Structure 1
Amino acid sequence: MKFAAPRSPSPSPSRSRHRKHANPLRRSTFGVPSDSEDSDDGLSETESSVTTSSDEAAADSEAEEAKPQLRLSRRGRSSKDVDEIEAMVASIRLRATHTDVYEEWENQTRKDAFISARHEQAEMRAKQKETHARLLQEAEKQRAALHQQQVAEVQARLKMFNTQLQKHESQLREFWKQRDKEMWDRVEHAIKIEEDKVKVRLEAERRAREEEERKRKEAEEKARLERERKQQEEEKKRKDEEEMRQLLLRDAQQKQQEEELARQKEQQEQAEAQTRQQAGLTTAKEDWMKARDLLGKLKNKVMRPVKANPQLKQLLNAGRRGVTPKIGQLTNDAESIVRITQLVIQIVNPPPPNASQNLSLSDDRKQVYLATLSALAKAILLQAETEVTAEKRSAIPLGQVTANFLAHLERFPNIFWARLCQRAGAWPIPFVVPGADFDGAPFDAEGAARARGLRRRDEPLGEHLQRVAGMMRVYFTVLAAGAAFERQLDPRFRVQRYWQYFARLLSQPQLLDSPVAAEIIYVALDVFGAKAKEIWGVQWIKVLELLYECATEGINGQQGRLLGGSAPEGIAARTRVQLEIERIMGA
């Protein structure tokens, strides 16, 4: 470390005196720096390293050298130069003998620094040794770990080699076992072949003997059969002649009877047709064909033209948005039923009473009115499929408000009937759906499914049964609620239709095999069964007896052919029918 500190002024008065007169720009010929230079410059590194004793020796040597020079200067120089030289020598002597505290401190500091440096060097060497020892220890640990890893790898390889050796030995043992087995199998197979040859030879000899015996017996049997055949032919010929005479006689009598029965049946059908026409009754087939015809006209001549016209479609959508929420707001109280009926009639806005009854008219108001009625019928049926399926008591207000619409909205009975037969199939009639439509066009697979009331061909039976049962519950509720205005309703929605429905259903055993029929019978008995007993009395009890016989013994007395079939849904519905009949008869 270097230190630079100003030197203290010299106490010598002669030095001070001569310094005043000395030229500051003139340098000493002795090469000794002046006091001003010493005060400005720091001690050099060489001077800092010299001790005090060495400084005194240097001063003495300089004094000795200065003496002969002084003599020489006195001979050749002026007094002024001599004075300067003397002043300089005095200054050097004073400098050589003067003790400077700063220099002593600097020397002591240098010594302390040297001692501290040696201590730091010793500590650093100790740390280096410690670090070196630690590094050696870590290197030793790494070498030990590497050694352990290599030992483990060698052991693993040895273990793998042992495993492979054992596996190879096992494969060799299995190979030799398989080889021995194949060799013995070949030996046994050769023995078996020889045994089979002997058996075949013995069997051939036995069959030859049996064949000879069989041929002998066949010859004897053939001769006997030939004699019997001739006798039987003669007997058969005689019997055939007798049977032919009897058959011709029976055919003549049967043909005469069939002609008589056909004539009587034709007369009966003509009489029944006249009676039905006079009474306003129709057959199940006529009802189905009329429903299909109404549905086709409703789609092609009403809904399509209205939906194709943007203005009419907007009016239809407004009516649908007004009608559908009202149907969903029904509750089972008279005030709600009356209020909803009035609101819906106002929304539908029926045409004047003298409007034409033909669906083919193109009057815009008439088309929108009929399309709105179709939307109303669809809303009622959708409500029946959802709400009534979940809670059967909700069918009461829905059936009552539907009966009000049927009695007060013109053309609504036909549209509601077409929509009902569309979504429930032929079950509202009831009728077995034929293979062709009302116009004679054959059904495809999808068309036949829709005609039977299925949403799609693969609709599950349980889902289809619940939907149809919900709609039919509303239909039977309409029949029960229509007694209040019987004359205002269409014949398809009067109470008499209830009796006609069971008469048609029981006359078609093919329908009774379906689980849907059993469920509909239960719904009909649950809605109106007890009331029907009060209306028709003993005749209704006979119908109940026939239904109970179909559910317990079999349809038309056929064992095993029970009402509803053998499906789980049919069995459950059949049980409900039995319980409901017992409840009605008990009441």
Structure 2
Amino acid sequence: MPPGGAPATSRLARVQQPKPSGRYCFEISSDESDVEEEAACVHVQHATLHSWSDESSESEGEDEVSRTVQRDVTAIRLANELDPWDKWEQTCRRRAWYTIQHRGHGGTRSRTTTPAPDTGVDEIEEILARFQLKQSHMQKKEREAFEQRNASLWEGIDKAIRNAEKRAAEEAEQLANARKRQEEAEKQAKIAREAELKRMDEEKKAAEARKREEDARKREQEQQQQKELATNVMRGGKHLWPVAKGEYERCYTFMKQVKEDILPSVAKNPDWKKQCFAAKRSITPKVGQLTNSKAEIARITLAIADVLEQARRVPDKDAAHRLYTWMLNHLSKCLIRQAEQEVAARQETAFPLARLVMGLLLREHVQLGDVLMARLVKKCPWILGYVPERGTLQEEEHRKRLGFKTADETVPSYVARMVGISAFYFACLQTPLDTVAACCGLPPSMSLEQAAQQLPDLLQPGRMWIWQVRSMASPVAQQAIVVSLWCTFLEVAGPPALVRYKKQAIKVWRLLLDEGLQGKLGAKSSDDVQRAAEVRLRLILETWSSTGSLGEHASPGRDMDP
């Protein structure tokens, strides 16, 4: 501050930066005429240019060449004019030199006087420093903004490149996957086509093989039928053997059902088991007590019928069926056991057993016939005039089908049991129903004819003729046991058969005597049992041939005792 406290008047009053008008304007103090003159000159120049431009604009429509010249002149003038920044810088320099020169002149006038500091220079320097700092800051900001924009731009470019590369990679991967799927699909299709072709080829070969097998089977069937036809001629006709086989299979199947269904179900139920064992204790001794007495036959028949009737009247139908069948099966076992033991020893004991069976059948216990025949056929298939075929069966199983009790049973023991069972069966076939009805009675409101119609087919009297025919045909006629069975048939059922079939029976028996005993009946290599049976059969037939009756060879006990 100058002496005297008066503030120093700055020669540079104010400096203004250029405004957005397109020109930089400087406001200076009144004593800086040169600066004002320079600014006035600048304004005059601009006014001149504007006026010239206006004049040119007005004459624009007059001449195209004139407009071009005016535009060129304007461009030249503008090119020669200094930039506002340069003008401002020149002005500041002139001021600075003016101040310095003015300070020098003052020193020559008064060297002893201490010059007052010129605040204008400091202010200018300060303004310049601030301006330079601001300019540097602006440049820095612009540079940072540029770098940021550049970085952002490159980042965007890199991102776009990465996205493009990613999309390209994804598209390539999708294309590769699609190509792979297509190749896999083509491969699978090829495999499927090959498999289909292979399957079709295999089916074709299989069809051809089946056709060949079918043709071979048909040829084999035809050959078998021809062979069977020729064999059936020896068996008594084309229907004789198949019918016998069907009867055997039905009986065997029925017995298998009883063994696998009825017996286990009763064994698992304590109440059923208790009732069945009570019936068993009642039936078993009665069968053993049976004699040929009319009174005993009637008593035992009615007692057993009452036991069976109690089982049949059980409210539960399924329980009644199972209990009733179980008791019939046990009764059949008792009867067959008696036949194997007593009848084999004393043939006449077969007649009371037969009357008991017929009496129960007449009293509407018809199912006894099915159960009894199933057990009889299982124990002795010979009663059907049938020989179970070996087929694929083992030797032990086949012997069991033939009726052997054990694997080591001897032939004499086996033949004795078969003869006893056959005698019991033949006794049932020849028993007159009227005598049984008179002894045991019939159900109320039922005639003898109606009761007789309920008898099973396998227990009808006509089975006597069927057995004779089947036993005279192959293969039964070639069995060693058939000679003993013929002896039993003639002794037990011979007289009724002769009365029933008369001339037909005579023809069969004559054929049996003339040709059967000449080596055509029985096995070729006979054993002692067969030879003894042949002697016995010859005596029976010769007695019949000479006397017309079987005489003493007929079994006693055919008539009931009083």
TM-score by length of 1: 0.48
* The structure with more radius of gyration: 2
